Amino acid sequence: MIIGVPKEIKNHEYRVGMVPASVRELINHGHSVIVETNAGMGIGFTDQNYIEVGATILSTAAEVFAQAEMIVKVKEPQAVERAMLREGQVLFTYLHLAPDLPQTQDLVKSKAICIAYETVTDASGGLPLLAPMSEVAGRMSIQAGAQALEKSNAGRGMLLGGVPGVEPAKVVVIGGGMVGNNAAQMAVGMGADVVILDRNINVLRKLDAQFGNKVKAIYSTADALEKHVLEADLVIGGVLIPGAAAPKLVTKEHIKNMKPGSAIVDVAIDQGGCIETSTATTHADPTFIIDDVVHYCVANMPGAVPRTSTFALNNATLPYIINLANKGYKQALQDDKHLLNGLNVIDGKVTVKEVAENLGFEFTAPQDAIASV
């Protein structure tokens, strides 16, 4: 198979779909890899690094899309990239379709086979290709929140951990999954007063066993959410419903009643955000203020630490890329029900129920969609 790696073009996105070591693995399996020039420069890999492991360098994304049978990316394809997709071509990347009608329309129109990292599952019910970036984003959320709380950024002017004789900031983490757990680790390490809210009692038990009395693991009700959000100096939104738009848990009314200068980091913004007042921002202009609350809503947070993020992501995606290349997409999807869960669009059909319902498309079961190709 010919695998193509284009250069990412989203605002301040420096990650790359495959590092040279991953390219070498695919070539060792008998496949060809074509890479757009300078695709890896953002994390310190030159074209020569890719050439040395056997890749072919092409001058433009158009050439990569035209020649490749499978495109491996990081972020969802932008409009200009979607226009280059063709029928029968495999796209393997993050998609986050539920809040994104234009992208979904374009992918349906392309008739490409679109497999999303974020909906691939594993035997334990986890999301193995989302987990590495959730770890990064969770840890970054505390860094971003700490900066947002600085007075120069219109925050309350607080140090997360306080100092001797001064109380630390209260950090409220909504969601105790991968994002929330990693956010809590960082916040605890910085000495903050940490509360985690979740509705899964088993998750709360695990958090209690992990952190002990260093965090307060609270069952999330409307009352508990309101109480702790209004008391918070920093709120981290880390709620995810796989394949679906994130629920709006923090309302406009909550925001109005939060402390002036408090901050919110909405890590769920890729799925539409779990804060009602959130709209996606970029690394170039990461924050905005509503009702004196600083909102950080960058939609590709791990892009700020692209080297760490790319290696972490490649470690998780490489076995799936090899499997798709070795078997072909049809056989690979039929053989692995967890990879099949990653199929979002194929031959003009939407194969994720939540996406179809959210955006008004007809839903086709993935097995049926594959059988009809």
Active-site residues, by number, are 96, 270
Helix (H) or strand (E) holding 254: helix 252-257
The string of DSSP letters for 134-165 reads HHHHHHHHHHHHHHHTSGGGTS----TT-BTT
What is the three-state SS of 169-196? CEEEEECCCHHHHHHHHHHHHCCCEEEE
Half-sphere exposure of 222 (CA within 13 A, CB side): 3
Identify which of 219, 222, 177, 229 has the alpha carbon closest to the alpha carbon of residue 197.
219
Structure tokens at 229: 């959000």
Closest Cα to residue 116, out of 309, 321, 312, 342?
A: 342
Q: DSSP of 85-130, one letter per residue?
A: --TT-EEEE----TT-HHHHHHHHHHT-EEEEGGG---TTS--TTT
Distance, in Å, from the CA atom of 186 to the CA atom of 139, rounded to the nearest integer, reads 6
- Inter-residue contact 271 to 246 (CB < 8 Å): yes
Q: What phi, psi does 310 have (nearest 5°)?
A: -65, -45
- Count other C-beta atoms under 10 Å from residue 248's C-beta: 17
How far is C-alpha 78 from the geometric centre of its chain's CA atoms?
Answer: 16
